[in-house]
Amino acid sequence: MANMQMTKTPMPEQDPNVRNKNFKEVTLGYTAEMAINEAQRCMQCKKPKCVEGCPVNIRIPEFIAKVAEGDFAAAYEVITSTNALPALSGRVCPQETQCESKCVRGVKGEPVAIGRLERFVADWYRENVNAMPQKAQSNGIKVAVVGSGPSGLTCASELAKKGYEVSIFEALHTAGGVLVYGIPEFRLPKAIVANEVEKLKAQGVTVMTDMVIGKVLSIDELFEELGFKAVFVGSGAGLPMFMHIPGEALKGVCSANEYLTRINLMKAYKEEYDTPILHSKAAAIVGGGNVAMDAARCAKRMGAEKVYIVYRRGEAEMPARLEEQHHAKEEGIEFMTLTNPVEILGGEDGRVNGMKCIKMELGEPDASGRRRPIPVEGSEFVLDVDTVIMSLGTSPNPLIRSTTPGLETNKKGGIIVDENEMSTRENVFAGGDAVTGAATVIKAMGAGKKAAAAIDAYIKGKIGRAHV
């Protein structure tokens, strides 16, 4: 009989006033007893809508049924039949707008905590089994994957399972893409990402770091000189956007992308590292997405006494996950909504000493479907800050598109692909943020999975000897 508890089994967490001074993981994960209790809330629907809401179509009721039985190893096998990275997606996937939003238990009460259960299963397996996957029999066909973020890792894993000789080319010195440079340790421990990369290597995937495709090698050279039969571009979206307001060139202004890379990838939060980083007394993070929350929570942990989220729309319009907003508020982050910067102020030393803002009000919906923010005349004020971090989104780096003839992009720099993730250049597929611009980890994984299937079908049709 199902557990008719109306609310999710609570997730243990660090105390907010303790965790806002360290980079250890905020949420501590379910115990086995908690996981079984939560799993028993699942109604085991005959037509599960939750699966439809998942970009990688995890067999959700099946794995939850195994958790309810206490068979965690079997639950892991069910999840990984469709999702190559459950420890990652279980932590950073926006379940509340995807699988959990479709859960029937959410009609009268809270939905089943699908993400928490996925994380539990992945963590249990890593801590208790952690068997490396077997290398499939090679079909001798080489496929290149550019970028080792969630789309690239997923695509590589799926192709390796089919017997392809896969090589990943990563621009940075560590594999993982946005999972290591963008998402903080307190949300996604980097040891978990490293473990997933090791599993890929066990599958026979070659991972080459410090390989900037478009500089070290071109896409053409991957085909003509190295003999790859297809290329998947999952190079992400690392080019930050700015407001183009006066004062953006002052010392103390940076992009959230740079700030988080210095902290996460270059370990600026550790004393034994010499990575230069902005140390703030008062920091303003401009934006309202998950990246803005990450930057604000990092600034707090780096010693800032005051940290503000400055967002031009209302809290209801914020794109950040509700959980991230909740955690940020608990940690002492101040939300200044319906507020927009108009100028960054500096002293004679060229450093930020304030930010001039204007209050906003919401008008009619714009092209995004959200109500358009309109400045309130005469409402300007100065916010006392010494650091401004711009978190306004990112777009794909132009390097690959500028060095690859025949590769068409849209006006925002995203690679144009068809329904099978194939670009306008033959044999070149693409997915994730390199196509869509900055989006979610799970959507990037979904694109990588879809592209792998398309590459397999394409090569079978063209070469006729790929693994079936």
- Taking only the tens place, the pLDDT of each residue in 444-455 is 999 999 999 999
User: Which residue do the tokens 């929350």 mark?
Assistant: 293
- Taking only the tens place, the pLDDT of each residue in 91-128 is 999 999 999 999 999 999 999 999 999 999 999 999 99
- Taking only the tens place, the pLDDT of each residue in 225-247 is 999 999 999 999 989 999 999 99
Contacts of 359 (CB under 8 A, 6+ apart): 338, 339, 375, 376, 379, 381
Q: What is the pLDDT of residue 464?
A: 63
Domains of the chain: 16-128 (1.10.1060.10), 142-238+395-462 (3.50.50.60), 242-392 (3.50.50.60)
Torsion, Cα of 48, 53, 56, 61 (10° steps): -30
H/E element, 298: helix 290-301
Tell the burial category of 55 from Cβ atoms under 10 Å away from its Cβ (0-12, 13-18, 19+). buried
- Taking only the tens place, the pLDDT of each residue in 322-356 is 999 999 999 999 999 999 999 999 999 999 999 99
pLDDT band per the 50, 70, 90 thresholds, residue 466: very low
pLDDT band per the 50, 70, 90 thresholds, residue 287: very high
Q: What is the pLDDT of residue 468?
A: 43
pLDDT band per the 50, 70, 90 thresholds, residue 69: very high
Q: What is the pLDDT of residue 366?
A: 84
Mean pLDDT in residue range 211-222:
97
* pLDDT, the chain, mean: 95
Q: Is the pLDDT of residue 463 over 90?
A: no
Question: Model pTM greater than 0.85?
Answer: yes
Q: Please give the Cα distance from 60 to 80 (Å, whole number).
A: 11
